[in-house]
Structure 1
Amino acid sequence: MALRGVLLDTTPLRVPAYRRLLTSSAVSAVGSQLTAVAVPFEVFRITGSSTWVGVASAAGLVPLVVFSLWGGSVADVVDRRRLMAVSVAGIAASSALLALHAGLGVESLAVLLGLVVVQQAFFGLYAPARGAAVPRLVPARQLPAAMALSTTVFGVGAVAGPLLAGALIPLVGLPLLYLVDALGLLAALALVLRLPAMPVTGEPGRRAGAGSVLEGLRYIGTRQVLLVSFLADVLAMVLGMPRALFPEMAREVYGGPAGGGLALGVLYAAIPVGSLLGGLFSGRVVRMRHHGALVLASVALWGAAVAAVGLTTSLWVAAVLLAVAGAADLGSMVFRGAILQTAATDEMRGRMQGVFTVVVVGGPRLADLVHGAAGDLLGARAAVGLGGLLVVVATGALALRAREFRRYTAPA
């Protein structure tokens, strides 16, 4: 019984509609990771250039950011179930076209990048609608548990998807791998269509577009609880996400071979493994109600763990510290997500989830640029240690200034 209280709280799964949504998300999470491995592999096979692999990643980021912001405004003026259905269908169609492209042996980089842009645009439409749908399906008191379940499912997908892709590509080839993703997305679509309708709330006649996006950004700016929740994540990721330095650290600090090896794999796996374990043992944590203080504590713990990585020359100590950071990141994401869903009105939730998607996706990529430059200037260990320390200091300053956020408590 004591162990049951510590393990992941599965209470939201008693709600059939949420169970369908989570199952569809699980299928999508694994499938998206299959494609996330297959596309760079195919780009490199066509071009033989890692630079083009980076260009493909950037090509996917731009539509994701643009359509997440626009999709958030759309999610506030249409039935969210319908928007999710259209988006999942679009993602499935783009995966099917990727399978056709690979199967025909065309090997056109322009076509491949175009399909990536289309797929990421549809995902940008899907993510805000999916996030804004959760408060319609579960009671407010269960939102932290629902966030922990969702984050854990995505964590499993982040681990299982690449492993499956690596094993399946040499066995079945790229066309069948893309096709598996498309078929899985069709199953996810069937589950989405079985969700209850989620009609528009608030004033009738509102329209999506740039004005609606700006209205959402102004809404964030006038509410400290929302603004600080986004700012805390930006600080944690931009200052404290050291993954761009992992290749250098694996070789220079932990003695790994130039081509990769165990040290590199351990460093990249440690944060997601920690996040996954944090989700599996989040039962008691999600019942805590002082969400503002818990976000700040989680971000500070993330920074302290990352700073300590810069002080050690032991690979396994670094792995444990990165796993602690991953668990702290899980806590931050759970409570920030719950704040976003309870502190914002329903007619604003789509736009808030759009900004949330941009922050979650864009922060780590901006961190890669910052840490890469800092590593060249200061050295990898110093850059990691200083970044983590800056997270702790910035979080402390934020806690002192943001009194309303620090005292924010979830509704009973």
Structure 2
Amino acid sequence: MDTSESSSESGTEPDAKASAPDGTRQRGWRRWAMDTRPLRRPAYRRLWSSTVVTAVGSQLTAVAVPKQIYDITGSSAWVGAASLAGLLPLIVFALWGGAVADTVDRRKLLLITNTGIAVTSLLFWIQAVTGMASVAALMLLLALQQAFWGLNAPARNASIARLVPEDELPAANALGSTVMQTGQVVGPLLAGVLIPVIGLPELYLIDALALCVTVWAVCKLPALPPLAGTPVRRAGVREVVAGFRYIARHKVLLLSFLADIVAMVFGMPRALFPQLAAETYAPYGEGLALGLLFAAIPIGAVAGGLFSGTFSRARRHGWMVIGAVVVWGAAITGFGLSGSLWLAVAFLVVAGVADMVSMVFRGAILLSAATDEMRGRMQGVFTVVVAGGPRLADVLHGGAGSAA
């Protein structure tokens, strides 16, 4: 039996030797193409496959909820309030979920949380198809769904280091991040096509059915209990605090989080896109401008992922993050100075590539620099930073745009 398969199926730390590259060096475009070695490992392939299915399905719900709330209220303020209603439980349960992921079998936690997300999507469909038209019910379901997501994400991300060797972590992160970014592009476009054809309620149903495939894929994963010798702990406030102390003691982890917070809060301009589309880039057509602005960063991220073959050969992950943040800042500055829509979109695409590079290597740092008993909590904080940073940027830049 292939050594990579046996190590992945056992749920133990994978053998790094199994991932050694071929004796011949890759040449030409192949050395730049995405490194797919992690997909040779059955356990990681199943986890990745579950991400492929939900990447698009979750975006259908992400479009359907604000659309339904706006249809009921006719108010963008209610749409914003719903976003806040989903953010708070996501933050709380991501931090707690990280501690839980460090104390239980991560496979079981993934089964429970994915089932919970699927049931929530089914409830979304029921309330929509029955014509309930209740904003309170929608916000309650959204809060419940985000709570399950908060519990799910740390366990899912922390499991990667148990399924692939350390030298394949950048490639594994690139594969997962590319799928998620692709979902952010394809999902909303697919929702826009499907709503006039099958109606809004069916978007929820498609998401629920897709999550059934995810649950099946997770069932096929090996058990992922705490490693032998790990002290038995209970997931509580003390363990969450211990996670923050661990970050404070390890500068490489602390700086990776700070770099992302600074880049996102001060550099994510998406709150300005509607105003820019309506005013600065109005001659190009408001609808076209708005669509291009929102799609540019994810498209750049997908492009960065598709040509991430060299990531696995990078050795100075910290410098890669720093370089990516510098490029992100320069690209966003160029975007801010652009009078042409096409130039602005080009700068945003470059920013998306830089964001992908930063995301991949920050993820690799978190998984390799933290011990397995701390990986769940590190991923919990990572989830909060990724979810909260852009929303804080929305408040900051939205206020600045209104004052201008």
* Number of corresponding residues: 377
Q: What is the aligned partner in structure 1 of residue 16 from structure 2? A: none
1:18-97 to 2 correspondence within 5 Å? 18-97=44-123
Residue in 2 that maps onto 1:399: none
Encode CA deviations 1:310-348: one digit per residue, 9 max, x unaligned. Answer: 222111111111100100000000000000000000000
TM-score under structure 2 length normalisation? 0.91
Query: 2:259 is aligned with what amino acid?
Result: A
Shift of 1:355: 0.2
Residue 254 of structure 1: aligned partner? 281
Deviation at 1:174, TM superposition (A): 2.5
Which residue in the other structure is 1:234 paired with? 261
Aligned amino acid, residue 15 of structure 1: R
Shift, 1:257, TM fit? 7.8
Structure 1: how far apart are the matches of 2:259 and 2:343? 26
CA distance in 1, matches of 2:282, 2:116: 45
Larger mean Cα displacement after TM superposition, 356-365 or 160-169: 160-169
Give the corresponding residue for 1:218.
245
Q: Does 1:277 align with 2:298?
A: no
Conserved in 2, the CA contact under 8 Å of 1:15 and 1:138?
Answer: yes
Conserved in 2, the CA contact under 8 Å of 1:256 and 1:263? no
Q: Pick one of 117, 138, 145 that aligns with 2:171.
A: 145
- Once the two structures are superposed, what CA deviation does each residue of 1:201-256 show, in whole Å capped at 9, x if it has no partner? 35332010111100100110111000000000001001111111112222322234
Paired residue for 2:329? 303
Asked whether the equivalents of residues 284 and 341 of structure 2 are also in contact (C-alpha less than 8 Å), the reply is: no
2:132 is matched with 106
Moved over 6 A (4+): none
What is the CA–CA distance in structure 1 between the aligned matches of 2:378 and 2:110, rounded to whole Å? Answer: 16
1:355 aligns with 2:370: no
Tell me the secondary structure at the aligned position of residue 261 of structure 1: helix
Alignment map for 1:127-206 (pairs within 5 Å): 127-201=153-227, 202-206=229-233
1:365 aligns with 2:399: no
Question: What is the distance in 1 between the residues matched to 2:117 and 2:237?
Answer: 24
- The answer for the alignment partner of 2:234 in structure 1 is 207
CA distance in 1, matches of 2:125, 2:155: 27
One-letter amino acid of the counterpart of residue 216, structure 1: G
Q: Deviation digits for residues 389-412 of structure 1, max 9, x if unmatched?
A: xxxxxxxxxxxxxxxxxxxxxxxx
Residue 305 of structure 1: CA displacement? 0.7
Which residue is equivalent to 1:339?
A: 365
Give how far 1:112 is off.
1.4
2:277, 2:201 → 1: CA distance? Answer: 34
Cα distance change, pair 324–54 in 1 and its aligned pair in 2 (3 A): same
Q: Which segment is superposed worse, 210-219 or 106-115?
A: 106-115
* Distance in structure 2 (CA, Å) of the matches to 1:49 and 1:98: 20
Aligned partner letter, 1:91 = I
Matched, 1:118 2:148: no
Which amino acid in the other structure matches residue 343 of structure 1?
A
SS where residue 106 of structure 1 aligns? coil
Conservation of the 8 A alpha-carbon contact between 2:167 and 2:312: no
Q: Distance in 2 between matches of 1:122 and 1:306?
A: 33
1:50–1:256: structure 2 CA closer, same or farther, 3 Å change rule? Answer: farther
| One-letter amino acid of the structure 1 residue matched with residue 388 of structure 2 | G
Secondary structure of the 1:135 match is helix
Counterpart CA distance in 1 for 2:172 and 2:189 is 26
RMSD value over aligned CA atoms?
A: 1.2
| Superimposed CA distance per residue, residues 172-198 of structure 1 (whole angstroms, 9 cap, x where no aligned partner) | 122322111111101100000100000
Calculate the TM-score normalised by the size of structure 1: 0.90
Name the aligned partner's letter for residue 41 of structure 1. Answer: K
* Counterpart for residue 19 of structure 2: none
Query: Which residue of 333, 339, 342 maps to 1:316?
Result: 342
Q: Take 2:274 and 2:76, find their aligned partners in 1: how far apart are those partners?
A: 15
Looking at structure 2, the residues matched to 55 and 78 of structure 1 have their Cα atoms a distance apart, in angstroms, of: 34
Contact in 2 for aligned 1:256/1:262 (Cα 8 Å): no
Q: Distance in 2 between matches of 1:115 and 1:373?
A: 29
Task: Structure 2 unaligned segments of length 5 or more: list them.
Answer: 1-26
Quote the sequence identity (%): 60
